[in-house]
Structure 1
């Protein structure tokens, strides 16, 4: 009896475990499917992992294609094509960023969907009624178009019909890919040469036929960057045909995208120069000179913003959160402002200069110990070319808070001097000498005619002093020096004709033993008629006046001393 009970107990146990085992086997496929598609991360892992070499399992992969209306082979082909699109475009998947929540919902649409790549929004996962995450019907329908847009049909045909040896791998890259890279680079360079040839021989010719000059500058400015943009664009649009691995394609995609952005920045940078030149042509037609001074500042501002916006665009396109970066800079803004207060002071100083207009480009100014011609007004400093040809950069903050003597804005240049005549000069000679100088001034068109003073001004310790206070109407310093030279030569010649001598500091010592001797006779006596004639001869209609300088002849040819430059 006991043996019967033991046998029955063993039989029941066997049946129990057998039933459990059979039940587990019936539920295992469903539970495994649920595990493979439990959340977006698991679904993406199932799609990618079971297509890798060494552990391929098409039966697992096609589970992500459940919504496709195709047989098993058709689903396998869809999955294979989608993976090739990801790899060729360099769409690198980071598992850590994929949500693991089975009940994940999109923050924008509120639906149970997950978009794998922002640059490819048509490819996304969706949650089914069985709580499984699979590729959506829209994704499955767009796979053929994605594949066709990613790979050239004729190129794919050539690759599929290559001999077997061309598909052998060396260092992880197939032989045909090495050959394709060479042809790819060569084709891009040839197309770029054709593009630049078209610009040089057609577009430039059209620009040269116009009466404008800015279009020629435009062609010069865009020729090189446009050719570079054309080259990089070709590479960026066709690199997916090389069918590299996802890591190589990803690196290549980022590199080409940065190169393309840099080329666009280069183009806009050159266009800023062309635009500045065009503004310069417009400002030359206006009467005010303020806009002429603004051109260099506008050019620098445009260049600055082109570079800054270009860098921001590159960072934004490569996944950097520029908004958080700017916010981080804002936190340290106080420290930056304190450290750069001199720079800010110079910047506002430049604004003050443009608003107040104390000088313009080309003016002769003197500020502090610096004297020279203004060459450029920048954000930080003003560059002054001194008369010994050095270039001095003066901070704009200093210019805004100091005295500026703008010698370049003078309409007239003053000449003030005192001529010292000896005490032997007679009153008649003095009068003739003073009137003669006035005649010289009247005869010279470079002197201001409505304002000048020439007078016997003082009895000096050793001379009779004649004040000469006149103004020159000349455009620059070089002409001023030349006219001063001519004027003083005229005065010397007048003094000789009038018979006066210039004094120099002397002391006369009278000796008792020589009281009978007559002192040295200084100067020459002239009659009143001779004095009047001398004054007339140096006047506007006189024959002896030479307001433009003395002309000396040797052997019948004029000797050029550089006096009449």
Structure 2
């Protein structure tokens, strides 16, 4: 849990940086003058725009509707689609955002925004008109080319652009809409080499032809227009509104709380809470901070509770409970993102930062939940009694689930990054470069991982088995992704890289069906032949199966065994494996008897107990028969020294030291010194 919480913190920083970086982009469709309702020649004023007269305003709507009466007496009604109506009735009752030509797109924007503006300014955002406003917003967003915008941000970006755009053009009188081409004229111009981008009345407002995507073959306001609509509105806000009924649109949209926040609460706030900061009010920032802090405290409280509960529950249950933490984070992030967008109405960079942070937190929590969920699933599977937790199959299942969870988490991460606005090509390119760097830096580790896969698939040994690998004799304790751990017979732990283990010759001692014993009994060279045959028969009798009565201890433990004698040597007389005893060799100093038998089952300590019993019986029976085992002998012969002739033989001595055979040798080694001559100095 600590790992994915650390990853969560890093993800927050990455998402915040991405939000700032993505906000500065303008779509890359234009190079030229600063966007706005200004041209290189100077400002565009109402007197400079070629218009007929204010009375001719209705021509801007073309044949879509009758002239609007902004006094409120008459206005066109855009119906909410009925779920029971047929498709044909649905199309008749609903005025869609018509995108068949630049002219239709412009007229649709005017009509839909006029309807939206009047609804918001008259009634605000309430639960009563929520469905109607949502439907209008969906139609308005379809007017803009937002293919390069994050899918989760398209609704907010499109609506902000539409509000700023409608506010900007409300400062000017509108010329007839027939100055923009219809569908036939637009395709004719493109056929004649026109680039497929039309500026509305010579302003930076662009309508472009869409050649791919969901709206292929339609006409929408360009991404350049959507991203720069705020700048356009700011540059003309010093002009007087020609249509004052739109003067309160921006205030109503950006600074009016949604239905989830009572208007009475906002009205009761002090004046300093209504001050502007980054295009928003201080009360909006206050709500964001309070709710975010509350969500963090709730998550920390749940974490503390889970830590206390998991210590008292079984491991599998405790691990499953930890899944509640990322689930809560995902739920809170989604709810906060929705509340900030639909009720607090965050806008601009603040909205994007909050959005990226919350989307990043939810995405990382989902990835963490998938990875942790894989471990929980393993614990649940291993609860079944037929699964051996230390077997190779368990490690293969564990490796497969871990790999599957990593793959699923990677797919979810890619989808989440695309939803946040990162293109798949960029993500894959970054992943490719990163993967190449990691592959070059981790060649040894990757080889060991592939070696572990081969070990898990080939199964040359299992956990707990005794093996011999590269001189290491011991029991396998663990098969990891990088190494295999063997507990040697001397107690030392050996960690062998899986690459080396996969290529080495492996001797699996635990897989033997029996323990074979081969021993040699050496008899002296002077043993008669009949004694040799007697020795062979003694060993055969000792190794044969024979019955012995039960001991009192065995009978007391189980009275039913009183009439059932115990079979001795049954474990070395299995079908196909009888004991083999032969007089097979004349050694330089002995006669050799070869004894071979196979002990079943291959239990080492039982084998040693049986071996000890057989050895004692052989010694006892040989002593009774007068048979001796030959001792290692070595014969030395000294030659070439006439002063020390070698005498072979034996004689009894009385204990006189001078009579011992080595007495002369001592005298030879220590000759007597002659007395000094007379008259000489001593």
Fold agreement, TM-score > 0.5: yes
CA 386–252 in structure 1, closer or farther in 2 if over 3 Å, else same: farther
The reply on whether 1:259 has 2:345 as its aligned counterpart is no
Q: 1:104 aligns with which of 203, 208, 217?
A: 208
CA 380–432 in structure 1, closer or farther in 2 if over 3 Å, else same: same
Kept in 2: contact 1:366–1:406 (CA 8 A) = yes
Partner of residue 461, structure 1: 588
CA 200–370 in structure 1, closer or farther in 2 if over 3 Å, else same: closer
The reply on whether 1:487 has 2:611 as its aligned counterpart is yes
The reply on whether 1:220 has 2:321 as its aligned counterpart is yes
What secondary structure, in the 3-state scheme, does the structure 2 residue paired with 1:320 have?
coil
The reply on whether 1:162 has 2:269 as its aligned counterpart is yes
Q: 1:409 aligns with which of 508, 511, 522?
A: 511
State how far apart, in whole Å, the 2-side matches of 1:492 and 1:26 are: 122
What secondary structure, in the 3-state scheme, does the structure 2 residue paired with 1:236 have?
helix
What secondary structure, in the 3-state scheme, does the structure 2 residue paired with 1:469 have?
strand
Kept in 2: contact 1:438–1:454 (CA 8 A) = no
1:208-234 CA distance string (max 9 Å, x none) = 9xxxx9984773352333333334334
| Within-5 A mapping of 1:134-283 | 151-154=258-261, 157-167=264-274, 176=283, 180-181=287-288, 183-188=290-295, 216=317, 219-220=320-321, 222-240=323-341, 246-280=348-382
| Within-5 A mapping of 1:350-361 | 352-353=454-455, 356-361=458-463
Kept in 2: contact 1:364–1:408 (CA 8 A) = yes
State how far apart, in whole Å, the 2-side matches of 1:431 and 1:72 are: 115
Kept in 1: contact 2:387–2:394 (CA 8 A) = no
Shift of 1:343: 7.0
Q: 2:497 aligns with which of 394, 415, 429?
A: 394
CA 175–27 in structure 1, closer or farther in 2 if over 3 Å, else same: closer
State how far apart, in whole Å, the 1-side matches of 2:223 and 2:583 are: 99
Partner of residue 48, structure 2: 28
1:173-212 CA distance string (max 9 Å, x none) = 866456535541454256558988999999xx9xx9xxxx
By relative contact order (CA 8 Å, sep 6+), the higher-ranking structure is 2
Kept in 1: contact 2:476–2:485 (CA 8 A) = yes
Kept in 2: contact 1:446–1:483 (CA 8 A) = no
State how far apart, in whole Å, the 1-side matches of 2:123 and 2:210 are: 25
Partner of residue 505, structure 1: 632
Shift of 1:253: 1.5
- Range moving further from structure 2, 402-411 or 420-429: 420-429
Shift of 1:263: 1.0
Kept in 1: contact 2:545–2:568 (CA 8 A) = yes
1:129-167 CA distance string (max 9 Å, x none) = xxxxxxxxxxxxxx9999899845335542232122444
TM-score, with structure 2 as normaliser: 0.48
State how far apart, in whole Å, the 2-side matches of 1:164 and 1:338 are: 61
Higher helix proportion (structure 1 or 2): 1
Kept in 2: contact 1:418–1:466 (CA 8 A) = yes
Shift of 1:469: 2.0
Structure 1: tracts of 5 or more residues without a match = 1-23, 34-62, 120-142, 519-565
Q: 1:434 aligns with which of 532, 536, 539?
A: 539
Shift of 1:491: 0.6
CA 392–191 in structure 1, closer or farther in 2 if over 3 Å, else same: closer
Kept in 1: contact 2:483–2:498 (CA 8 A) = yes
State how far apart, in whole Å, the 2-side matches of 1:271 and 1:307 are: 11
Kept in 1: contact 2:254–2:345 (CA 8 A) = no
| Within-5 A mapping of 1:548-559 | none
State how far apart, in whole Å, the 2-side matches of 1:159 and 1:151 are: 11
What secondary structure, in the 3-state scheme, does the structure 2 residue paired with 1:449 have?
coil
| Within-5 A mapping of 1:234-383 | 234-240=335-341, 246-280=348-382, 284=386, 291-292=393-394, 294-323=396-425, 325-326=427-428, 352-353=454-455, 356-377=458-479, 382-383=484-485
Kept in 1: contact 2:539–2:618 (CA 8 A) = no
1:432-459 CA distance string (max 9 Å, x none) = 6523541489724554534232334433
1:467-524 CA distance string (max 9 Å, x none) = 232223245xxx4145225413541354145315554422367974744569xxxxxx
State how far apart, in whole Å, the 2-side matches of 1:300 and 1:25 are: 66
Q: CA RMSD for the aligned pairs?
A: 5.8
TM-score, with structure 1 as normaliser: 0.56
State how far apart, in whole Å, the 2-side matches of 1:237 and 1:474 are: 69
State how far apart, in whole Å, the 2-side matches of 1:472 and 1:73 are: 98
What secondary structure, in the 3-state scheme, does the structure 1 residue paired with 2:366 have?
helix
State how far apart, in whole Å, the 2-side matches of 1:201 and 1:334 are: 43
State how far apart, in whole Å, the 2-side matches of 1:90 and 1:72 are: 17
CA 195–421 in structure 1, closer or farther in 2 if over 3 Å, else same: same
Aligned residues: 426
CA 316–192 in structure 1, closer or farther in 2 if over 3 Å, else same: same
Shift of 1:256: 1.4
Shift of 1:105: 1.8
CA 104–326 in structure 1, closer or farther in 2 if over 3 Å, else same: same
What secondary structure, in the 3-state scheme, does the structure 2 residue paired with 1:162 have?
coil
Kept in 2: contact 1:367–1:404 (CA 8 A) = yes
What secondary structure, in the 3-state scheme, does the structure 2 residue paired with 1:417 have?
strand
